[in-house]
Amino acid sequence: MRKAAFVLIIVVISCLILCSCSKSKKKKDYAPVNEGVGTMDIALYVTGDTQKVTVEFENRDDETWHFGEYYELEIMIDGVWYYVPGEDYCVHDLAHELAPGQRDSLTYSLTPFGKLDSGDYRIACGGLGDKTNNYYAYFHITDKNEFIGTTPTE
């Protein structure tokens, strides 16, 4: 009888510890980002809310930039970028051109990623679906679930 009570107490304590740990997101829940940073001079302006992000691209380079509509959401945890897992979503498989000095914008849905916790995020966008030649649009979600966009990197 004492042995059964002891085992039951150990099981209950273990369950309490495991349940309290599962409430916070951990790095093991996310895959680290394999960055494929673009090499052209492209500025990104970010506006939006917790449901969608609009990124305006400005081509500051001397060459025409070719980009696609593929994107991924990433979060910073302890100074490292991780992919945010989400439901399946689709994008148009279209290529766009942006001449030097021109601007264009795309809107990206955040709903496939569920409710976003507060933190620093970025949209990896502009690539052609191969996780290379990405440009990053940074934003922050506050503790009050407010969206704060960023200005382009100079």
2 within a domain of the structure (yes/no) = no
Q: Domain with 52 in it: what CATH number? A: 2.60.40
What is the domain count for the chain?
Answer: 1
pLDDT digits (tens, 9 = 90+) for 105-128: 999 999 999 999 999 999 998 876
pLDDT digits (tens, 9 = 90+) for 89-108: 777 778 899 999 999 999 99
Its domain, for residue 39, covers 26-149
- pTM of the prediction? 0.76
145 within a domain of the structure (yes/no) = yes
Q: Is the dihedral of CA 116, 111, 52, 104 positive or negative?
A: positive
Sort 72 into a burial class: Cβ within 10 Å, 0-12 / 13-18 / 19+: middle
58 within a domain of the structure (yes/no) = yes
| SS3 sequence of 93-148 | CCEEEECCCCEEEEEEECHHHCCCCCEEEEEEEECCCCCCCEEEEEEEECCCCCEE
